[in-house]
Amino acid sequence: MRNARSINATPEFIQKYNLSTTPPPENSLFWTMWKACTDIAQAALQTKFIQGIGSGALDPVLYGAFNVSDAYYCFNGENDYLIAESQATDPTLKAFLYKKYTSYHNYNQTFPTTWHVRDATGVVPIPVCLSYSQFETYIASHQPPIYCLICMIPCEYLWNWLAAQLPSPSPQNLYGPWITGNISTDGAFAMGNYLDQYMSENPGSVDPVLATKIYSQAISYEQQNFAAADPN
């Protein structure tokens, strides 16, 4: 149950674009943005939804409802990242954005058979999911493509971090594959290291204040999405 919204940073992809999956430097923008949002990450960890995954006690109906609502975000996200990719000129940035697009595209192909949802028009998203989708569309359409990658990082890293905070699942935990499937940091760290490289090669191309604002909003939407999945 790897986060289907995340990219699959295969060894071939890492090698082709000479990426690093080691933790980014301590003073990197990756960690600066994360440290500015640790309270939001902790709030996400304490949601009933995530705690229910950790204990295995989450109502499967709520898990299913979360995925159906999230389908709205994913169906729209597919086009968002294709728009951003078409505007990028840096080969590695284009590759990241296109890989994100293909992740959405491939995942979206499973909805008709898994959840019996054909496309976004058949989904009634929860309000925060709708807002998150609109925010992502705005970033993809109105900001330089590098900010679309920055908008991706919370989704990539938060799920990894949450999985690492949860106890090792018992064989009886229905959501054990969610925990073990999200434990890898390869995609998130590859993005963080690439972001440093991009900023070094393109001085002034990234405003750290704007980047942190976008990152903070995205991770806040992630937390709110988890919270709304089990509001009782």
**Domains of the chain, residue spans:** 25-229
Dihedral sign for Cα 5, 11, 14, 20, please: positive
- pLDDT tens track for 146-193: 999 999 999 999 999 999 999 999 999 999 999 999 999 999 999 999
Whether 120 has a pLDDT exceeding 90, the answer reads: no
Q: Using CA atoms, how far apart are residues 58 and 61, in angstroms rounded to an integer? A: 8
- pLDDT tens track for 93-119: 999 999 999 988 988 898 889 888 898
- pLDDT tens track for 36-56: 999 999 999 999 999 999 999
Q: What is the DSSP letter of 79?
A: H
At 180 the three-state DSSP class reads helix
CATH of domain 25-229: 1.20.910.10
**CB-CB contact of 162 with 44 (8 Å):** yes
- What does pTM read for this prediction? 0.93
